[in-house]
Structure 1
Amino acid sequence: MINFGEWLPDQPDHMNPGVVTATNVIPSASGYKPFPQLITYSNAATATIRGIFAAKDNDGNVSLFAGDGGKLYKFTPSSSNLTDVSKSGTPAYDLPGAERWRFVQFGEYVIAAGGTGEELQKWQLGTDTAFANLAGSPPKADFIAVVRDFVWVGNIDEGSGRVPFRVRWSGFNDIDGWTTGTDQSDFQDLPDSGAVTGLVGGEYCTILCERAIFRATYTGPPLIWQFDRVESQVGCRLPGSVCNYGSLTFFLSDNGFHAFDGQKATPIGNEKVDKFFEKDFNSNYKDNVSAAVDPLNQIAVWSYPSTSSATGDCDRLLIYNYALNRWSLVNTNTNYIAPFFSGGYTLDDLDNLSATLDGLSTVLDSQLFRGGEYFFGGSIDKKLATFTGDPLAATIETGEVGIATGMHGIVTRIYPYFEGGSVTMEVGTRNTPTSAVTFTSPVAMNVDGFCPFRAQGRYHRTRMNLTGNWSNAQGLDVDARQVGRR
C-alpha cells in the first residue's frame, strides 16, 4: 500500500514525498481523518462576534460568553439566545475595526479586555447579571493573561495614550489592585522589540513582541519578576495568530509559523506550508485572522481569509497536528474560532434548535447537547457555531511520479484504502513537467474493490475524493505498466 504522507504544498508536485492536496481533513498517524461541518449553535448577536470564552464555576456550571463591537453576551441554552449582559450605556462599548475581546478566568471572576478603547470588564460567576468595569483603575489593554496569582495586561493605555511596548500586572491575588508599587503590582517596558502582540499565561508569562519573545519568571520581592529575552531574532507579526496548549505557544512570525516552548521558538512550517500560506493569505484583511487549539484532536488551527475571499471573510482553516508535525487545509467560512464548553440542553430546550428530532443538524447523543462538554467551534454570521456536523467532502491528492524514466505508462487500476463513506478516484497525467495536468473523470470503486482506468502519460498522480460518513483515509495501491516512449 502507498500510504498517504504529510501535506507538503511547498515542495514540487513531481516526486513530492507526501501529498500535494489534503483538503477538509485532519492529519492522523495512519493517514487522514475527516473534519466536521460547522453547525450554528445560537441565535444571532447584533454584529460580528469578536471573542468567545467559556468559564466554569466551583460547582462545574458553565457560562458561555461572547462579544461583538458594541456588546457582551451570555449564552442562554433555554432560548439559544445571546443575552446582552453589557455594562450600562448606549453603546456600552465601541471597539474599532482591529480590536477584539480577550477573556481570562481568575477564580470566580471572568475578566474581559476589549482593546485600548475599553475599560477591563469583570463578571462574578454565579452572582452577576451584567458586566461592570474592573475596580482599581487598571489600564485598558489589547492583551490579557493570568500568570500565577496575577492578572497581566499588555499593549496598554493608562490614560495618556497607547504604550504598545508596556506590560503591567495586578497586585498579588488581587484583581482590583493596580497601584504601582503596592502588593507587588508594577509594570515593565520592553522598548526595543516593537509592540506587544500577545500574552500567554501560566507558571510564567510568555510575552510575544514584533521582534522578540520574552519570558517573565516570578522571583518574589523585591525584583518580583525576572524578564529574559529568550528570542531576539523571532517575533510575532500577527496578534490573531497566537494560540497555545499549556506551555506550547504557536504563532506566525515574519519567517513563518513557529512553536515556542518557553525556551526557544522552533519553525514548524518551513519547507512545508509557509510559502503556501504567504501566497494564499489575503493580507489586506489580516485583522480577521484568529487561532485556537483543539486539544482533543491535538491540532492548532488558524482561520484566515484567502486571496479568493473578496470580502475579507475567513474562508480557510490551516491545521497543524502538533503531535505528528503534519498539516492540512479546510475550506470553510468562519468569523472567529475558539474552544469552549457546551451549556447543556433539556429536551424542551431542543425545540429552539428544531421542531423535530430528525431536523437536528447534530445527532441527539452529541457532546454538543451535554452540559460542560468540551468542543471546538467559533462563530459565523453573528452566531456561535460548533464543528460537530457531518464530515466535509474531502480531497487527497498524491505527488507525481513517472513509471519508468523517459517512458510512458498506463494506470489500469487503483485500489483505495479507506473506512466508511464513499470514494471516487481520479488519475492525473501529463507528458512533460511543464505541461498542465489532465485528470480523468471520477471513477467509483467497483464490487471487486478497485477503480478501473486507462490513463496514459509519462507522469501520473492520483486524487481521492471522499464523501459521506467516512472515518479514515489510509492510502492506495496502483496497477500500472510501461507502454513505450511515445
Structure 2
Amino acid sequence: MPGIFLDCANVVPYESGFQGAPTPVAVAAAALAAECRGAIVATKLDGTRRVFAGTQTKLYELTGSTWTDRSAGTYTGSSESRWSFCQFGDTTVASNLTDAMQSSASGAFTAIATAPKAKIVVSASSNFVIAFNTNDVTYGASPDRWWCCAQSDQTNWTPNVANSANTGRLVAIEGPIQAAMTLGDYVVAYKARGIFIGSFAGAPVVWQWNLVPGGEAGAVGQDAVCDIGGAHFIVSNDNFWLFDGTRPQPIGTGVVRKWFLDNSSPSYRNRTKASYDKQNNLVRVSFPSLASSGACDTCLVYHVVAKKWGRADTTLEAPLNYISPGVTIDGLDAYASTIDTLPNIPVDSQYWLSGGQVSAYFNTSHQLVSLNGITQASSFTTGDMGDDDAVTILDRFRVRYVNRPTTAIASGSFKFNEGDALVAGPSGAINDGKFDIRQTGRFHRIRVDMTGPHKETAFDGKPKVTGAR
C-alpha cells in the first residue's frame, strides 16, 4: 500500500487495519496420490456435500479421511490440464478438455457420451450446463466456442431447437475463452482481453452474448476469476479488476499493479489462481514468482470491504473453500493421540464446526491444509519518512496494536537522498509500547518483525530536525 507498506510478509488486511496471516494446518485426510489439478465441495439439493479433487489421471472423492477413486478408468490429461467442476442439481460435472466430460450423482464418474470435451464447465440458473473452449467431432478444437446441454438434461448435448441444446462462437474479440463463471442469472465468459456476458434468450439462439466495453479487462487464466458475492474479482495479464455485470473497474492501478507485474512470471502468469475467503472478506491471488519454475509460490491478499492489500505467501497446487464435517470429543483421535498434539488452531475456529467453511488449499505434498493455524513469523516494512530539505533524527517508533504479538523487533534503515542505497540502522525490541531506535538521515524506513497472532491499526514515527528538542 503506497504510503503505508513497501512490503510485508504474512500480514493481511481486516476491516480496521492489518493482522498476522494464519498458518496452514493439515486437514484430517490423506494426501492425494499426485498433484491436485482442481477441487470442489459440491452441495446436493438436500444439503449434503461431496468433496472432489482431480489429478491429471484420476478423480477422487473424500470419504472420511480417505480419497476414494471415482474415476471412469484412467484419464489422459496433459501437462497443463486442470479439472473444471460444476454442480447441476444432484449431479457433479467435471471436464479437463483432454478427456470426455464426466458426471456423477453418486459413486463413480461416467462419461457423457454426447458432450464435447471442454476446458470449462459452469451451471447456469436457467437449468443448463454450459461448456467453453471445446473440442468435438463436428467442429474440432474450438477455443472460442461455447456449448449448452439440453435444458434440464446434462446428458444431452446434441443441438436441437426443441430442447434448447445449442452451440456458437465468441468472435467479437480475438483469442481463446480463458475462464467463465455465473453472475446471478448471467454467465460471464472471459478472454485475455475481453469480457462477454451471456443471458438466456430462448430458441433458436438460446444464449445471447454481448461484448462488455472495458478496454483490456480479461482473465489471465482458467482459475484467475472468483465470485465475491454479486461481483467477480479478476486477474488479468496486467491488472486486477472487479466486474459486477456493468463495466469492469480496475483496482490495482497505483497500488499493487506494478508490483504484481514486476514480481510475477510472464511465462507462467496464466497459472494464477484466485479464491475468495467469504468468512474474512479476503481474496487470495496465488501466482508464480519470477524465480518459480511454474508453481504458484506467492500470494497477494485483497480485502473486498477495506480495499487494502496484504501478502501471505504459500506454495499451492489448488485452492478450495473447504467445509468441515465437524469434530466431536470422541472424534478427536482422528486429529491427534493427545490433547497436546492437536492442531494449533483456535478453539473458536470454524474448522471444528460442522458446516464451518475455511479457506484451504492443496500444498506441494498434495495434502489438503486449512488456513486457520496461529500466526508464525510475519513482518511489514514502512515507506520512507522524512524531508528532502532537513536532516532528521528518528528516535522512537510506535505501532498501535489491538492485539500485541508474542515478540516484536523493529529494525531501522536510513539514507540522505532518495535514490541512495539504504544504510542499516539500529534495532530494538518493543518496550513499553514503543521501539527505541535512534538514527540520523533525511529519510527513515522501519521493518517490524513479529511472531504470534497480532492486529494493528496504525504506526507512527516522528523524525525531528537535528538539533530540535
Q: Does 1:95 align with 2:80?
A: no
**Mind listing any 5+ residue stretches in structure 1 that lack a counterpart?**
1-6, 9-16
Which residue is 1:439 aligned to?
A: 424
**For residues 451-483 of structure 1, what are the alpha-carbon distances to aligned partners after superposition, in whole Å with 9 as ceiling and x for unaligned?**
21211111112222221122x111223354211
SS at match of 1:46: coil
Q: Does 1:131 align with 2:106?
A: no
Structure 2 residue identity aligned to 1:117 = T
Going from structure 1 to structure 2, the CA distance change for 1:350 and 1:93 (only over 3 Å counts) comes to: farther
Going from structure 1 to structure 2, the CA distance change for 1:123 and 1:442 (only over 3 Å counts) comes to: farther
Q: 1:156 aligns with which of 134, 148, 152?
A: 134
Q: 1:106 aligns with which of 88, 91, 106?
A: 88
Which residue is 2:239 aligned to?
A: 256
Query: What TM-score, normalized by structure 1, do the two folds share?
Result: 0.88
Q: Does 1:336 align with 2:318?
A: yes
How many angstroms apart in 2 are the aligned matches of 1:345 and 1:396? 36
Q: 2:26 aligns with which of 24, 28, 40?
A: 40
Going from structure 1 to structure 2, the CA distance change for 1:482 and 1:323 (only over 3 Å counts) comes to: same
How many angstroms apart in 2 are the aligned matches of 1:469 and 1:232? 41
How many angstroms apart in 2 are the aligned matches of 1:308 and 1:348? 46
**For residues 124-156 of structure 1, what are the alpha-carbon distances to aligned partners after superposition, in whole Å with 9 as ceiling and x for unaligned?**
1xxx22111135x11110011111211111000
How many angstroms apart in 2 are the aligned matches of 1:386 and 1:140? 32
Which residue is 1:224 aligned to?
A: 206
How many angstroms apart in 2 are the aligned matches of 1:163 and 1:75? 34
Task: Report the RMSD for the aligned CA atoms in angstroms.
Answer: 2.1
SS at match of 2:223: helix
Structure 2 residue identity aligned to 1:359 = T
Q: Does 1:458 align with 2:427?
A: no
Superposition deviation, residue 72 in structure 1: 0.9
**Mind listing any 5+ residue stretches in structure 2 that lack a counterpart?**
none
Which residue is 1:391 aligned to?
A: 375
Superposition deviation, residue 484 in structure 1: 6.0
Superposition deviation, residue 372 in structure 1: 1.9
How many angstroms apart in 1 are the aligned matches of 2:421 and 2:115? 60
How many angstroms apart in 2 are the aligned matches of 1:240 and 1:196? 12
SS at match of 1:275: helix
SS at match of 2:23: strand
Which residue is 1:121 aligned to?
A: 102
Contact 1:427 1:455 in 2 (8 A): yes
Going from structure 1 to structure 2, the CA distance change for 1:290 and 1:479 (only over 3 Å counts) comes to: closer
SS at match of 1:391: coil
How many angstroms apart in 2 are the aligned matches of 1:415 and 1:241? 38
Which residue is 2:9 aligned to?
A: 23
**For residues 160-192 of structure 1, what are the alpha-carbon distances to aligned partners after superposition, in whole Å with 9 as ceiling and x for unaligned?**
531000011111121112120241110121134
**For residues 87-133 of structure 1, what are the alpha-carbon distances to aligned partners after superposition, in whole Å with 9 as ceiling and x for unaligned?**
2x2xx21211111111111111111112x211111121xxx221111
Superposition deviation, residue 275 in structure 1: 1.2
For 1:208-219, what aligned pairs fall within 5 Å after superposition? Answer: 208-219=190-201
Q: 2:117 aligns with which of 134, 140, 143?
A: 140
Contact 2:237 2:269 in 1 (8 A): no
How many angstroms apart in 2 are the aligned matches of 1:239 and 1:129? 27
Structure 2 residue identity aligned to 1:400 = D
Contact 1:258 1:265 in 2 (8 A): yes
Superposition deviation, residue 349 in structure 1: 4.5
For 1:277-426, what aligned pairs fall within 5 Å after superposition? Answer: 277-309=260-292, 311-347=293-329, 349-363=331-345, 366-380=349-363, 381-402=365-386, 404-418=387-401, 419-421=403-405, 422-426=407-411
Number of aligned positions between the proteins: 457
Structure 2 residue identity aligned to 1:156 = T
Which residue is 2:47 aligned to?
A: 60
Going from structure 1 to structure 2, the CA distance change for 1:302 and 1:327 (only over 3 Å counts) comes to: same
Q: Does 1:173 align with 2:152?
A: yes
Going from structure 1 to structure 2, the CA distance change for 1:81 and 1:222 (only over 3 Å counts) comes to: same
